[in-house]
Every structure is written in C-alpha cells, then in structure tokens.
Amino acid sequence: MARMKFLCDAQRCIECNACVTACKNENEVPWGVNRRRVVTINDGSPGERSMSVACMHCSDAPCAAVCPVDCFYTTDDGVVLHDKDICIGCGYCFYACPFGAPQFPKSEAFGSRGKMDKCTFCGGGPEADNSPEEYAKYGSNRLAEGKLPLCAEMCATRSLIAGDGDTVSEIFRERVTWRGASGLTWGWGVAYGKKGIRRGHDVEGKATGGD
Amino acid sequence: MAAHKKTGARHHRIIVWSLLSLVGLTLLLPLIPYAVAYVNPETGGVPNPGADLWRAVREADVGTTQVQGVDTGVLINANGERWRHFRMNQLIPIGAMLMGSVLALIVLFYLVRGPLRIQGGPSGKKIQRFSVFERITHWFTVSLFWLLALTGLILLYGRFVLIPVLGPEGFGLTASACKEAHNLFGPMFLVAILMMFVTFVKDNIYARGDLNWLLKGGGMLGGGHVSAGRFNAGEKIWFWIAVLGGLVLSASGLVLDFAVFGQGRAVMEISHVLHGIAALVVITVSFGHVYLGTAGVEGTIGSMTNGYVDEAWAKTHHDRWYAEVKAAAGKTEEAGSVGGGATASSVVSPVRDG
Amino acid sequence: MKLVKKQDTDASSVRAALLGGTVDRRTFLKRSGITAGGIAAAGTLSMSMMKKAAATERTATDEGNPAQIRTICTHCSVGCGIYAEVENGVWTGQEPAFDHPFNRGAHCAKGASVREHGHGERRLKYPTKLVNGKWTKVSWEQAINEIGDQMLSIREQSGPDSVYWLGSAKHNNEQAYLFSKFAALAGTNNMDHQARICHSTTVAGVANTWGYGAMTNSYNDIHNSQAILIIGGNPAEAHPVSLQHLFRATERNKAPLIVIDPRFTRTAAHANQYMRIRPGTDVPVVWGMLWHIFENGWEDKEFIRQRVYGMDEIRAEVAKWTPDEVERVSGVPEETIKRAAQTMAEHRPGTLIWCMGGTQHTVGNNNTRAYCIFQLALGNMGVSGGGTNIFRGHDNVQGATDFGVLSHTLPGYYGLSEGAWKHWAKVWDVDYEWLSSQFDQGSYEESKGKPARPMNTKGIPVSRWIDGVLEDKANIAQKDNVRAMVFWGHAPNSQTRGTQMKEAMEKLDLMVIIDPYPTASAVMQDRTDGVYLLPAATQFETYGSVTASNRSLQWRDQVIDPLFESLPDHTIMFKFAKKLGFADELCKNIQVTNDEPLIEDITREFNKGMWTIGYTGQSPERLKEHQQNWHTFDYTTLEAKGGPANGDAYGLPWPCWGTAEMRHPGSPNLYDTSKPVAKGGLNFRARFGVERDGVNLLAEGSWSKGAEIKDGYPEFTADILKKLGWWDDLSDAEKALADGKNWKTDLSGGIQRVAIKHGCAPFGNAKARAVVWTFPDQVPIHREPLYTSRRDLVEKYPTYADRKNFYRLPTRYESIQEKDYTGDYPLIMTSGRLVEYEGGGDETRSNPWLAELQQHMFAEINIVDANNNNIKDGQQMWLEGPEGGRIKIMAKVTQEGVAPGVVWMPFHFAGHFEGKDLRDKYPKGSDPYVLGEAANTAMTYGYDSVTQMQETKCSLCRITPA
C-alpha cells in the first residue's frame, strides 16, 4: 500500500514560495489561510537554509489524536484528512501539530476560528471525489485524478518531493548519490527526532514509511 | 575514616563520569558518518552546517517566513508533542480515574456510613443560614460551574463516550454547541467567582479551631464532637479551592477564549494545561461538596434552598456560629422571639442581608 | 484541477460576472472528474508514484475535457512552459508542463500563480480619463480620438519628437516589432523600453566585445558547467527556476558556486564561496581575480592568441589591481579573491552569470566588458558549460531589445543610419522619402562634423525622459521638450529620481497609460486632467512569440479572451495608427481583422528583415511545431531528438540563419566552434573591421567546424562571394536580390545560405575585442560612483567629465561627484528584487496569492546601523537620499544580510509617496492589494557613459526613526 509523503530537500530549497502560491492556485485558499509555508532559518547569515512545510500526513498524527470530535481520518494512501462537517474549530490540532499545519480562516473573540483548514495532499475530503461540495470545502482532489500535490509538482528546484514514500526515497537517494554528500531533508522523522537526519542517505520516506 | 570517605567519593566520581561518557558516545557516534560524508572537496574541512541547522530546528529557533500569522516562523513546535502527551496520556486518564474514584468513594462512604444525622434529631426550630444574596451568588456560580464543567467534560471525554452513542456527526453538533456555550459563558464565570469571593471571604479566613477540626477529620476520625464556626475548615478549604481554582480557570480560559492578541501556541498550551488541571481538581472536589450539601449531611440542603437550617443542625455542625447567632439575636431582642414561623422578617442573621 | 462553469451559466453571464467583479468565482465554477492525465509521468516524477492511476470515472462526460492550452509564463526571461486548462472560456486550471525543456513543470511563486490572471480582479476595466481630478469612463473611440487630436496638435507645434512612446518588455515579439515600426512611422526615435534600465550596458558591452549582446549559452547548458560564478545577480529570487539547472551542475558536476554580491542573498545561501563587495566595485574585483590568473599563468593562452584582441592592454590595467589595492577599494579580503580566482581556473569550463547588480551603474558598460574579458582569459567562451549566461529580466525583454524598441536602433540592431532606414523601408514596403518626411526636418546636433537629422540621431532614452520634459529646451538636441508621454506597459517606480519624475509628469500636456493595471503613473502625480488610462490585454489574452533569455523563441497560445474592455496591444497600436494617419503603412502586408493585425503576418514580416541576428528562420509554422513538441527536446542540449523538429534546438535560438526553408536549427550556444554553422556552431563576429593599427582583428587559426576558410575572414558581402567563386551557388532569384548587398541586407537570404553551405559564419570570423576603442573607457577601468561613500578614492578613480549632448541631453558626472554628501548621507543605498514581485510590481501586487506574501515595503539594514540610528526591527523609518527624496518604510534589521553601512531595498513597491498613502487616487477597484513606498523615490541621478543606464545600485542615504 502506498504511503504518501512529502520531503523537502533543504539543500535545494530557495524560498521561492512557488509551493505556497501553487497551493493557493490549486485550492483557491483565501487570504490569511496558508496550507503551506516556507520557513528560513538563519536568514541572511551563512548557514541559511529554507524549508517548505505543510501537513506532513503523519502516521500517528497528533492532530487526530487530540481532536475532541475525532474528525480526522487517514486514507488508504496514508493521507491525513479531516471532515469539516464535524470539526468544531477548537484549535487543539494546531497546538498539537509539530508543523503548524492546521489553519483557521479567522481568529476572533470567544474562540471563534471557523472550521480548520489544512493541506489535503491535494486529496480533497470525505465528499464524493471532485464534487463541487468537496472543492468548496477542501479544494482540489488531484489524487483522485492520478496527480500529485501541485506544490511539489511546481517546485522550482525539485526540492519539495511528494508521492509514495518508497519512490520519494528512491529519488532522493539518487540525488544524494550524485551529490556525494549529505542530504538535508525535512520530513516527519526530523520533527520527532527519529532516525532519518543523522545520515544523509537515510531518508525520511524510509524512516516513516514502515510504521 | 577520612581516607575511606575519599575513596568512596572517587568511586562515585568514576562511576558518574563513565556513565556520562557512555551516554555521550552513544549520542555522538552515529553522527560521525554524517560529518565525514559532508566533507565536500570544495568546502574543505568546513564544519557541517546541517548539524547547526537541525539543532536550530529542533530547538525551535524562530526562522523567518513570508506567511503572516501566529508562530509561522517556527518550524517545529516542540511543545506540541508534550502537550499531546499531557492531554491524552495524563489529563484524560488521570482525570477520569480521579473523578471516578472520588465518586466511587463517596458512594461507598454513603453505603457504609449513611448520611450524617443531626444529633438528637431536628429541633423543628429554624435559623437562617444564607441570605437571599448569598444564595443567588451561590446558585449563579453553581449554574455556570456545571454548565462549563459539563460542556468541558463533553469536549474532553465525549469522543470516547458520546461518539458511540450519537455518531460522529451527531456528536460534532453536540460538541460544537458545547464549545460555543463554553466559550460564550466562560468569561461570566470570572464574575461569579469574584462575587463568591466577596460574599463569603469574611467567613472563610482561618480561625482558631480549624486545625483541630482538620486533625479530627471533621469529627469522623477519633469520634467526639468538633467545634466549628459558620464554616468549618473543610468548607473553607473548598472555598479557597473554588476561588483560586476558579481564578486559574478564568484566567487561562480567557487566554484560550480570546486568541486575538497574537498569543503563540506555547502560551495556549500552558493555558490549556492549567485549565485542565484546575477544572479537574475543582470538579472532583465539588463532588464532595455536593455530597455533603445534599445526601451526605441531613438537613443541610435547606440552607441553600430556602436559606434556613434546623437549630439542632447548627448546634451539631457549627456550634460556634450557632452561639454567635444566638448572642446577636439576644442583643436585638426587639426583633421578636426566634423560632416558630420562620418568616424573613423575624429572622435574626449575623450577616448583612441582600 | 478540473473546474468548469455550471452548465446553466452561459458564456455571456460569465463575462457579466467578471465585468461586475462582484460574483464569487466559485459561484459559477464547479468541478467535474476526468480520467487521469499522464502529464506527471512525462516529468521527473514517475508514474509509479501516482496512486490511483486509473483514477475516477468521469462524473460529467457531457461537459467534456478542459482544453489544455500551451503558453509561457509572462514573468521572467526563463520562459517556463505552462498548461492552462480552460473550460467554456474560463481559465480553470494550471498544470505543470513536465515536458517543457526549460522548466519541466517547475515554477517560482509568480509562475505558480499565473492563473490569477483569469480572475484579474484589480485590472483596469475600461478606458478612463481624468476629469477635474476624477476618473471618468470613456469609450475606446472617444479616448483614441481625444488622445490622437492632442498628439497631432503637439506634433504640429513641437514636432514629432515631443510625443514619447515608451514601449514594453511585456509585449510579445510581434507587438514589440510593430511598436518599433509604429514609432518609426510616427517619425520619432523617442521610443524606448525597460531594456534601457536593465541590461542595456550588457547588450552594449557584450555586443562590442564579440558581436552579439545576449546570453551566450542557455539556462539548460549550465548543466555542463564545472564552476559557476554569479556576480550582481540573485537568481534564487529573480530567476528561481534557473536554480534547478544550477543545482544540476553543483550536484552532479560538483561545480563550485561562487556568489559576489554586497548582500547575502538567497542565492549566496547556496554558494560554496561568498564574496561581499562594496557596491560599485565590480571592475576591481574582476581585475583582482584576473590578477591572480595572469600572475599564475592560469589564462588560456592559445585561446587568447587565436580569438582575442587586446588582452595585453588588459594585462597592463590588471597589473595595477594588486590584491591589497583590490581589498582597499572593494573590501574583499585578498585570500577570498585568490581562492575564487583559483577555483575558476581549476574548474573549466565555468560559466559567469550576471544581472542588474553589474549593469545598473554609471560604469555598467565597463563592468559587463570586464566580465566578458574574464571569461575570455579563461577560454570559457564558445564552449558548452562556459559562456556569459546573462539572465535577462522580463519575459520578453530580449525580444523587445532585438526588435529595437530602443531610442538608438532599428529592429535587429541595424542602428539609425540611412542604410538601416532604407533596409527597413524596403522590408516594410514603404517609400523611404515618405518615411523620412515623417520625421522632424530640422537639425539639432552634429555627426562627424555634419549636421545630423533627428531621424539619424539617438532619441531620448527612457531613463532620461524626465529630463526631456524638465530640461531647458535650449539644452536639448531636438525641436522642443517632450510634451506627451505614452506609458505602454511601463512601471514608473522602476526608475530613479521619483520626486523629479512627479514634477515631470505634472508638466506634461498629456499622459497616456496603456496597461492591464493602472500603474503608479496613474497616482503618483497630482494632475487633475490630461491623463488617460487604457486597458491593455495581458499576454494570456492574445498570442504570439516570446524570446527567452537564451534567445529561444517560444510560441504562446491565447488562453482566454481579453478581460473586461481590454484590447490586445497590437489592436491598440492599429487604432492609434488609424487615428494618426499611417495605418496603411503600418499594416501594408499584414492582414487586419476588426482592427487586429494578424500576428502570424507580423512574424513573417520580421522574418523578412531581421538578418543581422538571425530572426529569419523562425517562421510561425516552425515555432508552433516546437510548441506542440516540447517533449522531444533534450533537457540539457535543447536539441530535438526525433519528432517533427528533429535536430532543431528548442525555440530556434537566434541566430537561426537564412530563411525558414533552410531549416537552420538555431544556435543554442553562441561562438561554439566545435559545431558547423549549419548545426548551430559559430565563431566570434567580425564586427569591428579587419585590422586596427596594423594588428589583425580576424581570428587566427580558429574556425568553426567544417568551415572551408580555415582561418579568420571578414563578414560576407556579394562581392566577397564573387571573389571566393561562390556567387554561382546563388539561384537567379537570390542573385537579383543579393547583388550589391551584404549578409545583413540581402533580403533573399542567399548570401547567408551560401556562406553556411561552405561552413562559414555569415558575419565573418574574427577575434573578440578586449579593448573597445569606440567607448569612453577603451579598457574597462574602475570609477567611483557619483554618490560615493569613499571620498578618499575619488581622486584616484574619478568619474567622467560632464557631457553636453548625450542621447540629446546634457548628462552630469563630475559636477555631482565633486560634492561630498557623506556627512549628511553616510550609508550606501542599493536595491534589488523579491521573488514574489516583478518589476514595478503593479501586476504582482494585484495578485492576492502573491501580495499576501509581501505586505510591507522594507529596507534591510545592518544591526549596527539600526542601533546607531535608534531603529528597531519592524519599526517604521524615514530613508532619505541625497537629492531629497524621502520614503517611509519598515526596517528589517539583519545581522549579516548587508554589511554595516549598506542599506538594501526591494524596488517593486509603489502607491505610497513620501509618506502619503495614495490608495484613494486609484480608479475604483483597480488599486493593487499591497501598496508601499517606491525605493526609487529616494534613488538618485547617475547614468552609464555608453547607454544611459540608470544607476540604482549605488547611492547614499540616511535613516531616521519615523
């Protein structure tokens, strides 16, 4: 069974924000909600590195664990999705998420946030695939069309890779072989301090694909 | 003797250092191939920038990003996992155990001991214990408290208890209503708590005899009668738990409820931890209060319904208060004799009336 | 993504919805399923990664497949391919073009958001004019009539040169060419576009070194580089997709990446070596590296002997730039310079990339020539993996430059001589005498001691139009001041001296802004009338060819109909030509339907005349063939492997010699002698004569593969063909046209065909020249900027003397430099780009997907300067330039981004002016989402000594808390 994964190669990310706007384009995400963002560490200093980050579709997703209404579900592809009809906009997923992925359309008094919105791996939601209702709530469902998330497909330097964990690993392994040096990757394993960052060739897809 | 001591200290040091070295090596060894792999022919022996990078990331150094919003510069929210652990592995199970065991103990106690009776049975003569204002304050707080406690508990436990009953959509609606109610009424609880405090603080200050009351377990330990004023030490503790817990709940609740000041996740998580702990403590203790105010002690319920208790009840549980009321009543004899038809106008009360 | 309009919404209601601008797009869009496309499979991501390859069944078969339209991103010169999905006239999806040879589906933030053009909510919606300070809707007819009448009356009073036609790098090739022709028929050389202010010094410097002023290789060819040196460029933000090619070299070839820049940029973050220089010290740094190369004998001696003229004079200049002097002037430590020089010497071929950081200086032409000489010394020219990879800016700035939307040349760099005019008059099929009569018949300057006519003198460059308005009439070499300005796709905030520009705008009789967006021109002045805003269509609303930085021509298909009441630029040109009375001449051989000239006919017309740079083989049919077969072109060589275009280089990069029938494959790498000319090989151009002071200028012992003349040779003429005995290789028809002509003016293409048949380059085979004896500085030397921070260096490295007449205008140098401003203005002011925005930013700041990511104009300042001036990060501050322009902006305090004493600003913002928010002045609903101060409001005077390029990279300023 495929397990969909994102991987960001920090050696290549140039903070061009293509992934961010590609997401807006594909899903018509409104101003103020950013399902993906690029974070730069050590901005303007030697050692500067950027990484594109969004929902990493964790195997043991903290958002799903803490959700008081249990609105999350994981698809057969390992994509973590949620049901906006059930979501109550409590914000717990945002507290628990290591990546700051959950977004809320507003932030008003009396805890009014609106329904949570996050990266769907361009996989839509519980409604019928590619239905108008699904698009209105969750944006595009590229997976159902046999396509991958647009952010990764449009990445300027192919830093952001998406797809089945094994294939992502393969691509990255090949790249690191060319490079002959370490890879700086950004993946699920990193956030949890698991294996996957110590050695360049030990990539994230492998680190997280198995469990 | 001294030499012996020195050797012991040295042994101790050797063991500590050995352990530290082992731990250090375990941590460092896996990094070696990584470091070696990074020695790029072009960069020469430049230290691996990756190591610094990931250290920075793991230590949640704030980076920069073009996306506006709360904490957007943070790559990894390291507290998230801790908070998840707290909520899912500590708050929820420990809270459930705490509340469950206290409830069970109360039931057990009731079954074994039954309610506390008034010594010598009710006298039939009534004495006012709480004024109208006091009762309004109490019930106002009680309503809010249970509204918030129930909605809060539903949000905390509903996923496990109610989803099987209501189904996900049904529970979604319920939870949504609970969340809205909790968020809307939450701020009012601060008002209630402050009213409670102002109203009752005077009689809840530590007084002589409270320690003794506590040592004797309110009369349940060692037998014999324990003397108490208007409120006994147990009630005073409840008062302070309720007030302080209520303030913590209100303060943390306001932080959570008004996330419009750009407070980050760390602040929200800490607030949630405080809110959860305080809520469970207050709720658990409130079980005891409710028990003692209703089924647990004969004749108590009247004090908060019509405001009156039996004189015998007063003598039994609050002898010093009873004495004070009587003494005050003696001074204001013109108000008429105590007892008989308990009308408000004929009541002698040491407390200000509403 | 599959979005379609609801079935019950017909096209007219969509139009109505868009015109109204109030209907949420989602209310008339809905989704439908479609079987999985195989697009991803063709790209870098394999099919195995895709999950449900079989995907869902169609849910709405009756709605049909969305049309997939092949177009090209309109933002930068990389030329990324795009699949636009359109359903019932609505642009519903944007899919990555994994098969496109340049970008393989990749985009930057701007490219990934081009579908927003289908919304266009902040566009200009209809023609508008300013009446008593209020924007008032007018019809196209009324607008053209009123504007035309005023122009004719200005022409009557002040001559044709008083109307200035400011063109655009956003026009496609056909429109750029038509614009150039339009201005010529209008009788003026006062026509220019953004190339003047981006790479004019590159074009001049590079063309004068070896023949053509363009990127010599390609983005893709960087795959073959063994080293990459970037100076004055930040491609990670300005050309992000190019980094995909750079990383290929750094990863697969282990090519070291060296970045030279005053600012630690996003590009520098990925460099192996970073060299921080003081702005304006490019020549010292390049000479500093060459010093080590010469000192150690690392130069390619054989290459220099065969193919370079004048290197000894360079050696003499370079010898002055000892490591300590370089460090004293540029601030770069001796060791750093040496290491970079050694790296470049040890890793060959290496490529050199530069951008605006090198070009936008008073010594811009010296900088660009120094870069070229550096590459010549290392023998990195004419080889795959080497070259000067000059990244152009706008999507079609290369094309617009080639088509002479410039005040100093006709299309194809023919210049302004009588011969050039006669050549084009013949191509246009108009009478030369009539054409000549369209121009001002007076004379205001001399050329070679004789009075020169305005037809043959360079017009006022765009960088100086404000002086054309403000300067005393007596000092301008034309009949009268500029009185009407037509801003046809131009952002004024990309130009310096904002405060004086405002003054100039207010002095004009007439301002016409033709653009999809109102631009800052509409609001930065305080006029109450005499301003017209005419909505132009974007390039997604028309079609045609566009030239990428690597000289490849790509065909764009039309994605959607023009939104609102906008019209394509060439239609507007025709309407104006009709009004001004030369429509027949403009489109004599071009079919016109409903005032719209046929694009393909325009392509065919320029194919007939652009012999100099080989824009002759790229017929519309060939370009469309390439467009439909993106997948057949190789990702590294750009050569088609099989398919209908087999053997062609993608987009037929110019020069694509001869006629289309000759099927020349284009020249992917210029001056590459390893290939025959017929296969895209070349040698350096014989452009500067055959000898100078008795020294041979032709190549010695070097020729392109298969050349029958195995040595240097001059450019081909009919006479030379006859001498060589090749004349009879021409057909009779060719002979008739070619007799008495040369390779540039023979309209039959026969001379080119025959030269190539014999393996020779039509333009001859000469040496590159390291000494440009026609330029003010024959050998590139260092000169301190006008507003220098280093007074101690002015005596040794002074600027030029003031000039009385330079592009019709007096131009100041030393009279500015002699005054010391460093007391009041202690900080160096420089500028650059952000990835989210482009150029003046009106288009990108109106795109919410991009605007959200950059909401505030800011300046990057070092923590030392921040503390010294009591400014904190994120705080508002005033920045003031030495000419008094002041802007209120946010401080971005950095540890090492810029050095202490340097302030860096992005230049994309506009809509605030000296602290005032001008949002209310925009026509309703056309204000960009994000406004901010224009950096150039504070930027100062300073122009290149050859091209009048503006100085934006090195001035002075002071900062105070606001």
Beta-carbon count within 10 A of C915 CB: 13
Counting other chains too, the contacts that B341-349 makes at CB distance below 8 Å and 24 or more residues apart are: B342/B126, B342/B128, B342/B308, B344/B128, B347/B127, B347/B128, B348/B128, B349/B128, B349/B131, B349/B325
Indicate whether B15 belongs to any domain.
no
- Chain A residues with CB under 8 Å of B271 CB are none
Distance from CA of A115 to the nearest CA of C (A): 18
Of C254, C343, C853, the CB nearest to B67: C853
- Chain B residues with CB under 8 Å of A69 CB are 158-159, 163, 168, 171-172, 175
Measured CA to CA in angstroms, residue C412 lies from C176, C590, C615 at distances of 12, 20, 8
Indicate whether B175 belongs to any domain.
yes
Beta-carbon count within 10 A of C316 CB: 9
pLDDT band, residue A181 (cuts 50/70/90): low
User: Residue C805: how many CA atoms within 13 Å on its side-chain side?
Assistant: 14
Query: Are C254 and B43 a contacting pair at CB < 8 A?
Result: no
Question: Is-contact B320 B228, C-beta < 8 A?
Answer: yes
Indicate whether B317 belongs to any domain.
yes
Which stretch of DSSP H or E encloses residue C446? Answer: strand C445-447
Give which of C399, C409, C353, C360 is closest to C201, Cα–Cα. C360
Q: State whether residue A39 sits within 8 Å of chain C by CB.
A: no
Question: Is-contact C756 C658, C-beta < 8 A?
Answer: yes
- pLDDT at B7 (0 to 100): 55
- pLDDT at B15 (0 to 100): 56
- pLDDT at B79 (0 to 100): 87
Phi and psi angles of residue C379, each rounded to the nearest 5 degrees, phi first: 70, 30
Phi and psi angles of residue C642, each rounded to the nearest 5 degrees, phi first: 75, -170
Q: State whether residue C103 sits within 8 Å of chain B by CB.
A: no
Query: Are A41 and B57 a contacting pair at CB < 8 A?
Result: yes
- Chain A residues with CB under 8 Å of C26 CB are 28, 135-136
Q: What is the DSSP string of A4-23?
A: EEEEEETTT-----HHHHHH
Chains with ≥3 Cβ pairs under 8 A against B?
A, C
Query: Are B68 and C854 a contacting pair at CB < 8 A?
Result: no
The per-residue pLDDT for range B150-177, each reduced to its tens digit, is 999 999 999 999 999 999 989 999 999 9
- CA C905, CA C913: separation in Å to the nearest integer? 15
Query: Are B87 and A89 a contacting pair at CB < 8 A?
Result: no
Interfacial A residues in 91-110 facing C (CB < 8 Å): none
- pLDDT at B47 (0 to 100): 41
Beta-carbon count within 10 A of A174 CB: 10
- Chain C residues with CB under 8 Å of A161 CB are 45
Kindly report the three-state secondary structure assignment for every residue of C24-79: CHHHHEEECCCCCCCHHHHCCCCHHHCCCCCCCCCCCHHHCCCEEEEEECCCCCCC
- CA C364, CA B251: separation in Å to the nearest integer? 63
Interfacial C residues in 87-106 facing A (CB < 8 Å): 94-96, 98, 105-106
Interfacial C residues in 811-840 facing A (CB < 8 Å): 835-836
- CA A26, CA A141: separation in Å to the nearest integer? 9
Report how far apart the first and last C-alpha atoms of chain A are (Å, whole number). 12
ipTM of the complex: 0.89
Q: State whether residue B41 sits within 8 Å of chain C by CB.
A: yes
Distance from CA of B65 to the nearest CA of C (A): 9
The CATH number of residue B105's host domain is 1.20.950.20
Helices of type H across C569-711: 569-580, 583-586, 599-607, 620-628
Instruction: Look at phi and psi of residue C16 and say left if phi exceeds 0, alpha if psi is from -120 to 50, else beta.
Output: alpha
- CA C825, CA C878: separation in Å to the nearest integer? 13
Instruction: Say whether C859 sits in a helix, a strand or coil.
Output: strand
Of A48, A152, A171, the CB nearest to C269: A48
Helices of type H across chain B: 2-28, 31-37, 49-58, 78-84, 92-113, 132-161, 163-200, 210-215, 233-257, 265-293, 301-305, 311-317, 319-331
- CA C784, CA C790: separation in Å to the nearest integer? 8
For the residues A92-106, what does the mean pLDDT come to? 92
Decide which of C40 and B339 is more confident: B339
The per-residue pLDDT for range B263-319, each reduced to its tens digit, is 889 999 999 999 999 999 999 999 999 998 988 888 888 889 999 999 888 888 888
* Number of domains into which chain B is organized: 1
Measured CA to CA in angstroms, residue A156 lies from B45, C48, C131 at distances of 30, 22, 46
Q: What is the DSSP letter of C916?
A: E
Tokens of residue C566, six digits: 């906008």
Tokens of residue C916, six digits: 């005032």
Phi and psi angles of residue C692, each rounded to the nearest 5 degrees, phi first: -140, 130
Question: Is-contact C620 C553, C-beta < 8 A?
Answer: no
Of B33, B75, B76, the CB nearest to A199: B33
Indicate whether B63 belongs to any domain.
no
- CA A102, CA C23: separation in Å to the nearest integer? 28
Peptide bond into A149 cis (omega under 30): no
Indicate whether B142 belongs to any domain.
yes
- Chain A residues with CB under 8 Å of B257 CB are 109-111
Measured CA to CA in angstroms, residue C471 lies from A49, A126, C500, C527 at distances of 49, 68, 11, 20
Indicate whether B274 belongs to any domain.
yes
Instruction: Look at phi and psi of residue C658 and say left if phi exceeds 0, alpha if psi is from -120 to 50, else beta.
Output: left
- pLDDT at B343 (0 to 100): 41
Indicate whether B19 belongs to any domain.
no
Beta strands in chain A (DSSP E): 4-9, 36-41, 49-54, 72-74, 80-82, 160-164, 185-186
Domain that holds residue B247: 79-331
- CA B82, CA C297: separation in Å to the nearest integer? 63
Which stretch of DSSP H or E encloses residue C308? Answer: strand C308-309
One-letter identity of residue C361 = H
Give which of A71, A68, A56, A63 is closest to A3, Cα–Cα. A56
Q: State whether residue C254 sits within 8 Å of chain B by CB.
A: yes
Give which of C497, C368, C392, C484 is closest to C169, Cα–Cα. C392
Give which of C553, C580, C778, C555 is closest to C651, Cα–Cα. C553
Query: Are B34 and A107 a contacting pair at CB < 8 A?
Result: no
Domains belonging to chain A, first-starting first, are: 4-200 (3.30.70.20)
- CA B68, CA B58: separation in Å to the nearest integer? 22
Which of B28, B54, B275 would best serve as a mutation to test chain A binding (most A beta carbons within 10 A)?
A: B54
- pLDDT at C44 (0 to 100): 35
Query: Are B49 and A49 a contacting pair at CB < 8 A?
Result: yes
Indicate whether B354 belongs to any domain.
no
For the residues A151-161, what does the mean pLDDT come to? 95
- Chain C residues with CB under 8 Å of A19 CB are 112
The answer, yes or no, to whether residue B2 has pLDDT greater than 70, is no
The per-residue pLDDT for range A48-96, each reduced to its tens digit, is 999 999 999 998 999 999 999 999 999 999 999 999 999 999 999 999 9
Instruction: Say whether B103 sits in a helix, a strand or coil.
Output: helix
The answer, yes or no, to whether residue B41 has pLDDT greater than 70, is no
Peptide bond into C349 cis (omega under 30): yes
Q: State whether residue A46 sits within 8 Å of chain B by CB.
A: yes
- CA C605, CA C616: separation in Å to the nearest integer? 9
Query: Are A142 and C236 a contacting pair at CB < 8 A?
Result: no
List residues bridging with C69 in a β-sheet: C84
Tokens of residue C218, six digits: 């390609």
Q: State whether residue A154 sits within 8 Å of chain B by CB.
A: no
Tokens of residue C295, six digits: 């000192």
Mean pLDDT by 10 residues, chain C (962 residues): 34 34 32 30 32 29 68 96 94 94 96 93 96 96 97 96 97 97 97 95 96 96 97 96 95 94 96 96 97 97 96 97 97 96 96 96 97 97 96 95 96 96 97 97 91 95 97 95 97 96 97 96 96 97 97 96 96 97 96 97 96 96 96 96 96 96 96 96 95 94 95 96 95 95 95 96 96 96 97 96 96 96 96 95 96 96 97 96 96 95 97 96 96 97 96 96 94
Q: Which residue of B has its CA nearest to A101?
A: B72
The per-residue pLDDT for range B62-102, each reduced to its tens digit, is 888 999 888 888 888 888 899 999 999 999 999 999 999 99
The per-residue pLDDT for range B226-249, each reduced to its tens digit, is 788 888 888 999 999 999 999 999
Give which of C391, C393, C412 is closest to C401, Cα–Cα. C412
- pLDDT at C1 (0 to 100): 35
- CA B301, CA B322: separation in Å to the nearest integer? 17
- pLDDT at C14 (0 to 100): 33
Distance from CA of A100 to the nearest CA of C (A): 17
Which of C46, C51, C929 would best serve as a mutation to test chain A binding (most A beta carbons within 10 A)?
A: C51
- CA B209, CA B228: separation in Å to the nearest integer? 7
Decide which of B333 and C106 is more confident: C106
- pLDDT at B31 (0 to 100): 43
Instruction: Say whether B267 sits in a helix, a strand or coil.
Output: helix
Cα C611 → chain centroid: 21
- CA C530, CA C507: separation in Å to the nearest integer? 11
Phi and psi angles of residue C380, each rounded to the nearest 5 degrees, phi first: -90, 5
- CA C702, CA C684: separation in Å to the nearest integer? 10
Distance from CA of C855 to the nearest CA of B (A): 9
Which of B38, B42, B68 would best serve as a mutation to test chain C binding (most C beta carbons within 10 A)?
A: B42
Q: State whether residue A210 sits within 8 Å of chain B by CB.
A: no
